Structure 1
């Protein structure tokens, strides 16, 4: 039953609040990470706080997507919200790194629901034409959290202590839970013979092995070679096994038949492009700016801010335009091309250019990515049946997250190897910081700047090629039109897919 305009506004506010809370948790913790691990006496295990959260969130995406299809997205959403509040409480009372890691696993599991269920609920209760606008409003939580999170994390840690970084989720989460209980309508699931337990277990092992392999590949720690090879082998064997299981399962966790729909397949490819092309490099850009442009950490943050701000503006504008016109194909074509141009400009920039130049270039990458980041979710949902809304939404998100994790490790490995090989003999790669470089002689600073520019240029070119592949995929996207009718949710884009 269609929602009234008032009920839809209340629903958007509720979903936006929860999405912002989930996105903020990741960025706010990153700022406080050094303080947290230092007070717990576990600086050498700092990665556990992040990896445990990321693993749990990634592994649970397809599971929650299928559960939403079977038992209803509202129940999964409210349960995820409740678990997030409880997990935040236990994160704040943790007395050692082991307790915190376990609590972060629970928090990561819940965050998967906070990220996925708002998109799934929108796909269930809105028409295909409405979805781009609504998804863009909810999706704005992510870039806003990136802008606000680091500052909020620092202020809370300095004023109240790191435990309040987690405890602040409790009052805000209770308000969001109450609002969601009122605003989110009942969404019926569908009866199924049984849940695909074998597929869930194998996919969980596969994704875990892949994330661990990517993490170990980026550390360059002695003795990590054998664990890396074992994890990579487990990931490959697990992927093959998962495909076999899904082909035979009566109710597969990830319906592989969806890949036979060209619209869904291309949406998944474009999601992978976002993960590999932007999210893999954005965390390394500030260090690159500090080294190559010899700026402070504060000033270097202006470049990713320009990227995120461009993403925020473009996702709101294109979402509104797509809902107004019903046309969607132009946005991923424009977006992938714009992002590719921005990355090529970054690759061609010589060291020492005015800071506004890389800000403009990375702003183009953000504008291009935001142009289709949420629209492809709406396109994929509109090409699937209602019974597969949760699964197709989860698949799009899973591919982006896995692509981001894997590509981040590759980019980090390339930067680390390049710095270690080309660094002047007067500096030590293991202890290199921007402060040390800025305190060195002008000649050494120039050498390091040239080194980082030489390392990053081919990386930016490679990522531009990833977006170029996205251009080809976007051109192959069927040129359909999103329907106004809720009853024809799957027909609008499916017709174009078979044209």
Structure 2
């Protein structure tokens, strides 16, 4: 998930069909076992088409087997030529960049969009939430579909959805139309990282797989880091609509390039048990729909003013979801065995809180620079460069120096979350109009370091807490909760931010105007709520600008203090996971289709 060396069980070690020549296939078919550091799928037999066998067993590791696997790995023969590999890599990287930049870039252009669509107040936060919610909620469905259809057949629909969503946004004439476009783009975004990771697993050998996964993570991190810079820099020059028009052909061309470059024989490791229609029927659509509905209702109830009815309905939807998973679904979207593990469940909840708090930094740090420090839109987004640089370094340093074994990482996980929470509180202390910007930059850098280290440590620790035959599932589930953190962080954090901002602006202008708000002042407050660039980019007088700056500064400090408080709760939850590994009573057989899908579901969505 994080940057740097990937901890144990990053991906399946099953020999992928797409990268094995016929003469090399036979030696790999038998006698393949799992090491302590990587859960390995063992293929029982091969189909006539050369795909992996339909039965996969997880077995215990030995150093001898690990050495044997390394030797076999060196014998891989790639069927995809260098030119095709370059085309696939660049095109996938471009799709990942488009997907990730659309998250952070929205923070700097939502004011201009809100002004043109005449949508102010806290409704503008749905520009981001409408994209993040379907992206994180539907990624498990995308993972299931990837076990039924070859990745080559899925890449075009995914690219088409991204393109169609951008087209709707670019031509939107109303708030509802624009949000609908963001939803469509989010549905497409749900499949981008899933397919990228599947292709990374299928088209690489075990020896080069870590580099490829790192490249995928780098694409996502670069999109988050530079998306705000690109959007903020181009928006004053070309406007916000061309930013979406540009994405329409780019997404289609990138998707078409991947489709044409991939050999038709590339499969996602599926063991074809039955027809694709039979597998399509087994997907837990009801569970996925109820899970998405639960998240939408819960977030809607917390956006802006707190609304009890949607929150209550979200609880009902959650109960229905759990009932479906336990009683109805043949293949639950979140397997029951995993949900029954206290350590795994608490680890996932801790990750949800961690990434929710992290997204308050990713989303509101550029807003702070724009509205409080008076940075230009081009440079306001550059504040994400040091924090994401820290994120990458934190993962690399931890992976290089410490996460080099299997076992418990309870104390490092807790300590990293402590540093993360302290950095959030420190951020609230330095978020003032007067202190040197260098202090703010240092603190966001430290926050990134703590996040990168925390993600690596907690991933390694949850693998220690998992049964060997469920490690793919728990890895995927951890990624799912990290992905939900983006939705929760922007929506719930946004609700806190805008409530504080509205209160601060109202009280500030009341004091400025002698206890009475004119209609003009009320309209100004409404515009300032959705347009941070108006603070220094509008025609405010010095007194009004002072009120606006103080309002944004206080709201920023408030949301980061709330995130720090959430971090303290997450420290307690992470500590409650314990450090004792479960007793192994024999590894159960695991369907290779399911294992491949589960490890790629939502992998990387929560900031790679």
- Normalised TM-score (structure 1): 0.75
Alignment partner, residue 289 of structure 2: 201
Cα RMSD, aligned residues only: 4.7
Tell me if the contact between 1:69 and 1:391 (Cα under 8 Å) persists in the aligned partners.
Answer: no
Distance in 2 between residues matched to 1:347 and 1:101, nearest whole Å: 31
Structure 1: unaligned runs, 5 residues or longer: 480-486, 491-499
Alignment partner, residue 354 of structure 1: 436
Tell me if the contact between 1:415 and 1:455 (Cα under 8 Å) persists in the aligned partners.
Answer: yes
Is residue 370 of structure 1 aligned with residue 448 of structure 2?
Answer: no
Partner-residue secondary structure (3-state), 2:363: coil
Tell me if the contact between 2:133 and 2:186 (Cα under 8 Å) persists in the aligned partners.
Answer: yes
Alignment partner, residue 70 of structure 2: none
Measured at CA, do residues 405 and 116 of structure 1 come closer, stay the same or move farther in structure 2, by a change above 3 Å?
farther
Counterpart of 1:342 (choices 420, 423, 427) is: 423
Is residue 23 of structure 1 aligned with residue 100 of structure 2?
Answer: yes
Counterpart of 1:272 (choices 352, 367, 384) is: 352
Measured at CA, do residues 33 and 406 of structure 1 come closer, stay the same or move farther in structure 2, by a change above 3 Å?
closer
Measured at CA, do residues 127 and 147 of structure 1 come closer, stay the same or move farther in structure 2, by a change above 3 Å?
same
Alignment partner, residue 177 of structure 1: 255
Q: How many residues matched?
A: 473
Query: More helix per residue: 1 or 2?
Result: 1
Distance in 1 between residues matched to 2:540 and 2:237, nearest whole Å: 32
Distance in 1 between residues matched to 2:576 and 2:235, nearest whole Å: 44
Distance in 1 between residues matched to 2:129 and 2:348, nearest whole Å: 24
Answer with 137-146 or 297-306: which moved more. Answer: 297-306
Distance in 1 between residues matched to 2:473 and 2:112, nearest whole Å: 43
Counterpart of 2:268 (choices 187, 190, 201) is: 187
How far off is 1:84 after superposition? 1.7
Which string of whole-angstrom CA distances, capped at 9 and with x for unpartnered residues, describes residues 17-61 of structure 1?
A: 322121123334443434445445656764554443334324323
Which string of whole-angstrom CA distances, capped at 9 and with x for unpartnered residues, describes residues 192-218 of structure 1?
A: 462323223322322221221122xxx
Counterpart of 1:235 (choices 309, 314, 317) is: 314
Partner-residue secondary structure (3-state), 1:297: coil
Distance in 2 between residues matched to 1:233 and 1:134, nearest whole Å: 44
Answer with 109-118 or 265-274: which moved more. Answer: 265-274
Measured at CA, do residues 421 and 458 of structure 1 come closer, stay the same or move farther in structure 2, by a change above 3 Å?
farther
- Output aligned runs, 1:3-82, within 5 Å: 3=19, 4=76, 13-39=90-116, 46-47=124-125, 49-71=127-149, 75-82=153-160
Tell me if the contact between 2:497 and 2:556 (Cα under 8 Å) persists in the aligned partners.
Answer: no
How far off is 1:16 after superposition? 3.1
Answer with 99-108 or 341-350: which moved more. Answer: 341-350
Measured at CA, do residues 89 and 336 of structure 1 come closer, stay the same or move farther in structure 2, by a change above 3 Å?
same
Is residue 472 of structure 1 aligned with residue 472 of structure 2?
Answer: no
Distance in 1 between residues matched to 2:126 and 2:184, nearest whole Å: 13
Measured at CA, do residues 457 and 200 of structure 1 come closer, stay the same or move farther in structure 2, by a change above 3 Å?
closer
Partner-residue secondary structure (3-state), 1:168: helix
Partner-residue secondary structure (3-state), 1:284: helix
Is residue 459 of structure 1 aligned with residue 559 of structure 2?
Answer: no
Is residue 426 of structure 1 aligned with residue 475 of structure 2?
Answer: no
Distance in 2 between residues matched to 1:397 and 1:453, nearest whole Å: 23
Distance in 2 between residues matched to 1:31 and 1:5, nearest whole Å: 46
How far off is 1:369 after superposition? 0.8
Tell me if the contact between 2:360 and 2:560 (Cα under 8 Å) persists in the aligned partners.
Answer: no
How far off is 1:321 after superposition? 6.2
How far off is 1:172 after superposition? 2.9
Partner-residue secondary structure (3-state), 1:186: coil
Measured at CA, do residues 281 and 5 of structure 1 come closer, stay the same or move farther in structure 2, by a change above 3 Å?
farther
Instruction: From the CA coordinates, give the structure whose radius of gyration is larger.
Output: 2
- Output aligned runs, 1:279-294, within 5 Å: 279-286=359-366
Alignment partner, residue 250 of structure 1: 330
Which string of whole-angstrom CA distances, capped at 9 and with x for unpartnered residues, describes residues 118-145 of structure 1?
A: 3455567778997665434312223322
Structure 2: unaligned runs, 5 residues or longer: 1-14, 20-75, 274-278, 583-590, 596-608
Is residue 167 of structure 1 aligned with residue 250 of structure 2?
Answer: no
Partner-residue secondary structure (3-state), 2:179: helix
Alignment partner, residue 601 of structure 2: none
Tell me if the contact between 1:81 and 1:173 (Cα under 8 Å) persists in the aligned partners.
Answer: yes
How far off is 1:261 after superposition? 4.7
- Output aligned runs, 1:127-146, within 5 Å: 134-146=212-224
Distance in 2 between residues matched to 1:27 and 1:118, nearest whole Å: 20
- Normalised TM-score (structure 2): 0.63
How far off is 1:250 after superposition? 1.6
How far off is 1:158 after superposition? 4.3
How far off is 1:346 after superposition? 3.2
Tell me if the contact between 2:356 and 2:488 (Cα under 8 Å) persists in the aligned partners.
Answer: yes
Alignment partner, residue 483 of structure 1: none
Distance in 2 between residues matched to 1:314 and 1:66, nearest whole Å: 32
Answer with 54-63 or 370-379: which moved more. Answer: 370-379
Tell me if the contact between 2:125 and 2:494 (Cα under 8 Å) persists in the aligned partners.
Answer: no
